[in-house]
Amino acid sequence: MVAEAIKRVVTAIERAVVGRRPELEAILAAFLAEGHVLLEGVPGTAKTLVVRSLAAASGCAFRRIQFTPDLMPADVTGTNVYDPKEGAFRLVRGPIFTDIVLADEVNRAPAKTQAALLECMEERTVTIDGTTHALPKPFTVFATMNPVEFEGTFPLPEAQLDRFLMKIRMGDIDAKAEQEVIARFVAGFDPWALAAAGIESVLNEQKLQDLRAVVRSVAVETHVQTYLVEIVRQTRVHPAVSLGASTRAGVALMRASRARAAYEGRDYVIPDDIKFLAPYVLAHRLSVRPEAQLEDVDGARIVAEILNALPVPRA
């Protein structure tokens, strides 16, 4: 059921997005695992288009928040406003009250505004003037970052990065895919008219919740759990790492691996699910020592070294 439904979603998204199958598989694994995603890439790599297409194909409501240095927490969450006609305060909900939120250029907002997302992403609630409000059930945050522009940006704190189940780098597509993009635009493709591109809603809120319930039931055998835990623990003792992945990172990798297994049509996780997703789930959670950074060592390289060194378990 999950495999067929998600393949329909992928087919719908690829009516607008070209050459992004590995990234789409990772994004959908995070989405099914009820996790948030940080997309990193230079301008023009289809980050926004991917998220808008996913919202359209999954039947989810979508809001985009442009993060800027003057953006205030209330601009994200909302605030209570006095209504003179009623003689009382009423809640004006912010754009965070939706199914899929695109936090565009999230690192351009100051720390206090970034912090407004912490409760939303972890507990899926918003507290305004002491009152807690629940967010919509499919609530998911997709945030974007430009990796090469640092002027006017604020680094994401470790607590914020840890809230993202995955960080996915949107690099360049290959020549064939890029030619296909140009051909589509020549034929009249409009990235702001997704319905005209043929993207139809193949899911709805109830179907999405049913799929997520199936994902939560996917089995993870003991030997696979041991393999997963060992990968996470190795990040803490790697010589190039000053702060490794937490237990929460291990749980996130398990959740995502369940989703990938379901996407592949299995009701059990295999080591290949973990190996495919570990770079997306773990790399951004590692703090690399400065001396290692000078040698161009990053989280992705460290995770790759760990995966290559650990033996793959057999049932």
CATH number at residue 297: 1.10.8.80
Q: How many residues does the chain have?
A: 315
Q: Do 173 and 306 reside in the same domain of the chain? A: no
Taken in order 8, 13, 14, 19, the sign of the CA dihedral is negative
Q: Do 52 and 159 reside in the same domain of the chain? A: yes
Q: Do 243 and 258 reside in the same domain of the chain? A: yes
Q: Do 147 and 41 reside in the same domain of the chain? A: yes
Alpha helices in the chain (DSSP H): 2-13, 21-32, 47-58, 73-77, 111-123, 158-163, 175-186, 205-216, 222-237, 247-263, 271-282, 290-293, 299-309
Q: Do 222 and 209 reside in the same domain of the chain? A: no
16 to each of 32, 136, 165, how far by Cα in Å? 21, 26, 25
pLDDT value for 152: 64
Tokens of 177: 């895919």
Tokens of 92: 């004006």
Q: Do 210 and 233 reside in the same domain of the chain? A: no
Q: Do 202 and 58 reside in the same domain of the chain? A: yes
Q: Do 262 and 205 reside in the same domain of the chain? A: no
∠ CA 182-62-263, nearest 5°, is 75
What stretches in the chain show pLDDT beneath 50? none
Which of 155, 183, 214 represents a domain boundary (last residue)?
214
83: burial class by Cβ within 10 Å (0-12, 13-18, 19+)? exposed
Which of 198, 214, 230 represents a domain boundary (last residue)?
214
* Residue 170: CATH number of its domain: 3.40.50.300
Per DSSP, the residues of 228-261 read HHHHHHHHHH-TTEEE---HHHHHHHHHHHHHHH
Which of 192, 214, 236 represents a domain boundary (last residue)?
214
Q: Do 17 and 162 reside in the same domain of the chain? A: yes
pLDDT value for 175: 96
304 to each of 113, 134, 310, how far by Cα in Å? 34, 39, 10
Give the chain's domain count: 2
pTM of the model: 0.92
Q: Do 178 and 224 reside in the same domain of the chain? A: no
User: Is residue 208 within 8 Å of 58, Cβ to Cβ?
Assistant: yes
pLDDT value for 150: 63
Q: Which domain holds residue 45?
A: 1-214
Residue at token pair 């629940």: 134
pLDDT value for 262: 94
84 to each of 2, 90, 93, how far by Cα in Å? 50, 10, 18
pLDDT value for 52: 95
Residue at token pair 């604020």: 154
Q: Do 3 and 84 reside in the same domain of the chain? A: yes
Q: Do 135 and 61 reside in the same domain of the chain? A: yes
